[in-house]
Amino acid sequence: MTFKQYIRRAWPLYVMLIPGVVFVLLFRYYPMYGIVIAFQDFSPAKGFFNSPWIGWENFEFFFSLPDFGRTFGNTLFIAIAKIVADQIGAIILALLLNEARVLLFRRSIQTLIYLPYFLSWIVLGGILLDVLAPHGILNQAIGNFGIKPQLFLGSNDWFRGTIILSGFWKNVGFSTIIYLAALTAINPVLHEAAAIDGAGRLRRIWHITLPGIRPTIVLLAALSLGDVLEAGFEQILTLYSPAVYRTGDIIDTYVYRVGLVSAQYSLAGAVGLFKSFIGFFLIVLSYWLADRYAGYRIL
Amino acid sequence: MIRESSRFSRLFDSLNYVFLTAFALLCLAPMVHIFAVSLSGRAPATAGFVSFFPIDFTLENYNEVMGSRTFLRSFNISVIRVLTGTSLNMALIILTAYPLSKTPRAFKGRTLFIWFFVFAMLFHGGLIPTFLVVRSLGLLNTLGALILPNALPIFSMILMMNFFRNVPKELEESALIDGASHWRVLWHIYLPLSLPAIATLTLLSAVNHWNAWFDALIYMTDTANYPMQTYLRSVVVELDLTNVGIDPRDLQRLSDRAIRGAQIIVATVPILVVYPFLQRYFISGIRLGAVKE
């Protein structure tokens, strides 16, 4: 095929790509250029191109603040606790659902536990703010056992626990889907053979079902590495308050407040860049591990 | 099929059914509670007497919400956003995925373009630079700020591309030999064969647009431009009743708590309407696209 023939056939392929390339250049790559503000004393009037350069000053300033340790500590703590709770919960739920043999029952339970995943944090947050309020239904319920009302969202003792549990509520049902899919791939003959050899329920779960989904567990563990800086921005922004900044303020909420509420663009840009930078390596590492140990590729 | 008959096994089954039922009900309980509150009269709702059944049953709270101009306006904005945003997403997903699903021989430069998109997916400029770009383009307070920045969801595009790659090549080759252009091949061969994937990604995009609220919070400086979820945030999270568009006199006879509950429920109804489809397509979509083993 000559070059001319190639062009005559293939030119529509290039035309099709134009809109996608334009949007990605404008809204992804141009902002990437915009990270120069982290090294500038940025002012909107002068823009990305004319603001004065100040080197690493913004970073040095941020690292010297107590906010640095606090936000990174909170982010890592909440994100890792969420990943662990979500994965373990999803595995247990998938195993139990797999043991329930009445199909209609299984379907109904799944329908109920997937639902929160599709609701926004505003809807779920609105529900939680009512349910967990000092005079809300949960405090009334524990009051019946003589326990004093607790500030589930307003006290540093409770806030992280509330965030982790409510994140579990939203996501765990959905996380079970992938495990359930892996469970259906296990050959039932294995179970029958083990039953004939006298293996009871628990032994079959332990020796057949769990090893059967091990590749999936490894895969999701590898991929979750990309999420250890994602503590749940929309959730925390909806539920937190200044009273719980000590335990609940994460990098993303900090960037939002410093950058968009107080308009300290350069400082917030530096913090955001620091996070994007680490996040990029975490994601690349997680994809590499997923490919290496679970044969997973997105491309 | 194994028949379980031992006593332990039957005990296990009973406990399993009880546990799963209890867990599912616990997941649902907060929503049922809010639903009951939204259907209750002022006194029991304010005093916190309502648990899972309405007391002094009334539809007045819903009347009030549906009569609020601010609420209806934000609802409209959300509907427009979902329709335009989802169409734009799907057009770009399909147009971008098709060339990238070709081999590097059939489409020279494919590898370069793939990395152009993948890098943009993995590395973000971050919140602040993105905000500054959107603002400098003059998009504040326009619908464009909500649908243009993520006009091409790259991960969805990659799922679509992987789906396209599994379309049998013979169909396409014979069509091209017969003189059909790539436009015709995409339209008459790829699209009809990819309807399940398209349905899945359309639903995903629509739900994302319906649920999105943060972008409008930062890009809409005029609250009159808020879509549903962002408006709902000012009402149920910030408890700002000045901007609700509800007649203060009505709060004498209705509970603000019950009105908030009614707004939460109304915002949830569209999701409930598509929920059966979401379950069917989305869950099978997850299996076929995201987890290839």
Domain A56-294's class?
mainly alpha
Do B63 and B73 belong to one domain? Answer: no
pLDDT of residue B293: 32
- Lowest-pLDDT choice from A90-104, A118-132, A195-209: A195-209
B124 found inside a domain: yes
The CA distance from B226 to the nearest CA of chain A, in Å, is 14
Q: Tell me which chain A residues have a C-beta less than 8 angstroms from the C-beta of B51.
A: 137
Do B25 and B131 belong to one domain? Answer: no
Do B76 and B213 belong to one domain? Answer: yes
- Lowest-pLDDT choice from A200-209, A254-263, B244-253: B244-253
pLDDT of residue B237: 83
Over residues A61-99, the pLDDT tens digits come to 999 999 999 999 999 999 999 999 999 999 999 999 998
* Residue that the structure tokens 């996501």 belong to: A171
pLDDT of residue A298: 73
pLDDT of residue B242: 61
Alpha-carbon dihedral sign for residues B3, B9, B12, B18: positive
B239 found inside a domain: no
**Closest Cβ–Cβ partner in B125, B155, B264 for A32:** B125
pLDDT of residue B286: 60
CB contact under 8 A, A201 and B12: yes
Do B205 and B79 belong to one domain? Answer: yes
Here the CATH number for the domain that contains residue B164 is 1.10.3720.10
pLDDT average per 10 residues of sequence, chain B (293 residues): 71 92 95 94 86 90 88 94 97 97 91 94 90 94 96 93 89 88 93 89 92 95 93 84 62 81 93 85 60 36
Do B197 and B73 belong to one domain? Answer: yes
pLDDT of residue B278: 80
Averaged pLDDT, A227-239: 94
CB contact under 8 A, B260 and A93: no
pLDDT of residue B215: 95
**Closest Cβ–Cβ partner in A12, A33, A34 for B183:** A12
pLDDT of residue B262: 93
Q: Tell me which chain B residues have a C-beta less than 8 angstroms from the C-beta of A19.
A: 91-92, 95-96, 151-152
Domain residues of chain A, as ranges? 56-294
C-beta pairs of A48-54 under 8 Å, 24+ apart in sequence: A48/B132, A54/A266
Per-residue confidence at A256, pLDDT binned at 50, 70, 90?
very high
CB contact under 8 A, B182 and A12: yes
CB contact under 8 A, A297 and B158: no
How many CA atoms lie less than 13 Å away from B194 in the CB half-sphere?
27
Do B172 and B75 belong to one domain? Answer: yes
Do B77 and B198 belong to one domain? Answer: yes
Residue B103 per-residue DSSP state: -
Percent of all residues in chain A with a pLDDT value above 70, rounded to a whole number: 100
Average pLDDT for chain A: 91
Return residues 2-41 of B near A (CB < 8 Å): 2, 4, 6, 8-9, 12-13, 16-17, 19-21, 23-25, 27-28, 30-31, 33-34, 37
CB contact under 8 A, A234 and B37: no
Do B91 and B181 belong to one domain? Answer: yes
pLDDT of residue B216: 95
Q: Give me the DSSP letters along chain A.
A: --HHHHHHHHHHHHHHHHHHHHHHIIIIIHHHHGGGGGGB---TTTHHHHSPB-TTHHHHHHHHSHHHHHHHHHHHHHHHHHHHHHHHHHHHHHHHHHH---HHHHHHHHHHHHGGGGS-HHHHHHHHHHHTSTTSHHHHHHHTTTPPP--TTTSTTTHHHHHHHHHHHHHHHHHHHHHHHHHHTS-HHHHHHHHHTT--HHHHIIIIIHHHTHHHHHHHHHHHGGGTT---HHHHHHH--GGGHHHH--HHHHHIIIIIIS--HHHHHHHHHHHHHHHHHHHHHHHHHHHHHH-----
Q: Do A221 and A292 form a contact (C-beta atoms < 8 A)?
A: no
B262 found inside a domain: yes
| Domain range for B75 | 69-223
pLDDT of residue B292: 38
B201 found inside a domain: yes
B236 found inside a domain: no
pLDDT of residue B5: 65
Over residues A171-190, the pLDDT tens digits come to 999 889 888 888 888 888 88
Do B77 and B178 belong to one domain? Answer: yes
Do B84 and B196 belong to one domain? Answer: yes
CB contact under 8 A, A37 and B128: yes
Instruction: Name the H helices within chain B.
Output: 7-38, 42-47, 60-66, 69-100, 110-122, 127-136, 144-147, 154-165, 169-177, 182-185, 191-193, 195-211, 214-219, 228-232, 256-277, 283-285
Q: Do B167 and B194 form a contact (C-beta atoms < 8 A)?
A: yes
Do B281 and B195 belong to one domain? Answer: no
Do B171 and B253 belong to one domain? Answer: no
The ipTM of this complex is 0.90
